[in-house]
Amino acid sequence: MEKLEKTLEEWRAMLDPEQYNVCRLSATERPFSGKYNATKTDGVYHCVCCNEPLFDSTTKFDSGCGWPSFYAPIGASAMTEIRDTSHGMIRTEVKCARCDAHLGHVFPDGPPPTGLRYCINSVCLNLEPRE
């Protein structure tokens, strides 16, 4: 996969203010406010910054946490994981492998078959419904 690199100024011009704050500055959208939190549409979720496929809707589940949750990414190379010690916690941040957009975090409390919960900000995603 070819890495996509842009300056913060280029990202700011391309994204709306909330997308920029979450994807490029690692902010978080308010729980239960995102457009994909309760979505049941069949399709593929792509990175809003670079259009890289990240999650298939077949791995989405209702975790009750207030953000879209998935038990697996679309592929092992879709994202990178980074140790996050901000806010007095130890968590694992997930970023798009292609453009380094902050997506959310992954936790070890998800359902089978992986036992993982990828807790992802809706503003980081674009859903392409399946035909």
* Mean pLDDT along residues 95-121: 97
Catalytic residue at 49?
Answer: no
Helix/strand/coil percentages in the chain, nearest 5: 20, 30, 50
Q: Kindly give the residue spans of alpha helices, DSSP state H, lying in the chain.
A: 8-14, 17-23
Cβ neighbors of 95 (< 8 A, separation 6 or more) are 79, 80, 81, 82, 101, 102, 103
Can you give the pTM of this predicted structure?
Answer: 0.94
**According to the annotation, is 99 in a ligand binding site?**
yes
What does the pLDDT read at residue 33? Answer: 94
What does the pLDDT read at residue 10? Answer: 97
E-assigned strands of the chain? 43-47, 53-56, 60-61, 69-70, 79-84, 91-96, 102-107, 117-120, 125-129
Q: At residue 46, does pLDDT exceed 90?
A: yes
**According to the annotation, is 65 in a ligand binding site?**
no
Q: At residue 131, does pLDDT exceed 90?
A: no
What does the pLDDT read at residue 15? Answer: 97
Taking only the tens place, the pLDDT of each residue in 56-100 is: 999 999 999 999 999 999 998 999 999 988 878 888 999 999 999
Taking only the tens place, the pLDDT of each residue in 4-44 is: 999 999 999 999 999 999 999 999 999 999 999 999 999 99
From the list 23, 49, 65, 119, the catalytic residue is: 119
**According to the annotation, is 47 in a ligand binding site?**
yes
Report the alpha-carbon distance of residue 39 to residue 57 in Å, rounded: 9
